[in-house]
Structure 1
Amino acid sequence: MNLPSQRGRGRKAPMADINVTPLVDVMLVLLIIFMVTAPLLTAGVPVNLPDSRAKALDQEQKPVQLSLDGEGRIFLDDDEIAEANLAAKLEQIAAVQAGGQPPQVFLRADRGLDYGRVMRVMGELNRAGLNRVALVTVEGGNR
């Protein structure tokens, strides 16, 4: 026989469920925002990089980006500099790091550029004492 109990009459038991719908909504909106903005953060100088099967390098500090676009213009990070000013700028960068190890330099050169043009820039890097140079390529191998 199932008799009604006197204790619980007229009172409801507390609800033990958590409504996660608002949390999921907020997380989906944040995910969409990050998916849209992430590609914009890597925008820089448009360079048609060559392919390579090499693995990515591990980095402990932010590298200096030196780019040569298809027209042969030189960019230090995102700022265009004249070839005549390149040696002085590179010496400034090397002098700032004089106490420790020189910074890593990422050299991004368009695949259509003359080999001698890229080697002149690498020679300026070497003369300034920036010997930790990595040539940036597109991951993926043969095209």
Structure 2
Amino acid sequence: MSMNLPSQRGRGRRAPMAEINVTPLVDVMLVLLIIFMVTAPLMTAGVPVDLPDSRAKPLDQEQQPVEISIERDGTLHVGKDEISDDMLPDVLSQVAQKGEGGKPPQVFLRADKGLDYGKVMRVMGELNRAGLNRVALLTVGKDDQ
């Protein structure tokens, strides 16, 4: 039975250690992995609720879009014309037929931020039913206020 004792030949010199201890590195990497796994879903779910303010840049348009506006009291406007809820499907089907090149026109939907969310979704449902799938929700830019 023998033991490796430091020899007296080197007199204070140690041989360089050839092995790297990777356990602390693995521990740190696992902690970082857990942190990223926990925070990544929160980053996508944490969207601002006050949507009417935006810093998005305007979209390039190839043709004049159709504007649909919904006032705070629920009054609907297509362009400058006021329409009733019952007239909306007929008006939207006429708008869908005006598309150029077999492509329906783009629709700009402007809704008051104090409006009921269900009202906006009903209008979007009617847009989808009419085949108007290119819908942009308009907001007020931060610089425009």
- Give the TM-score category using the shorter length: 0.5 to 0.7
Query: What is the TM-score normalised by the length of structure 1?
Result: 0.62
Q: One-letter code of the match for 2:77?
A: F
What amino acid is aligned across from residue 106 of structure 1 in structure 2? Answer: F
| Runs of 4+ deviating beyond 3 Å | none
Structure 1 gap segments, 5+ residues each = 1-48
Q: 2: CA distance between counterparts of 1:52 and 1:122?
A: 20
Q: What is the aligned counterpart of 2:117 among 96, 115, 118?
A: 115
Q: Pick one of 65, 78, 86 that aligns with 1:63.
A: 65
Q: Tell me the C-alpha RMSD between the 2 structures.
A: 1.9
Find the counterpart in structure 2 of residue 128 from structure 1: 130
Cα distance between partner residues in 2 of 1:104 and 1:97: 9
State the SS of the aligned residue for 1:122: helix
The structure, 1 or 2, with the larger RCO (C-alpha pairs under 8 Å, 6+ apart) is 1
Equivalence for 2:90? 88
Deviations 1:20-66 (A, max 9, x none): xxxxxxxxxxxxxxxxxxxxxxxxxxxxx811121111111100000
Secondary structure of the corresponding residue to residue 97 of structure 1:
coil
Structure 1 match to 2:142? 140
Q: Percent identity?
A: 63
Q: Secondary structure at the match of 2:110?
A: strand
Count of residues in correspondence between the two structures = 94
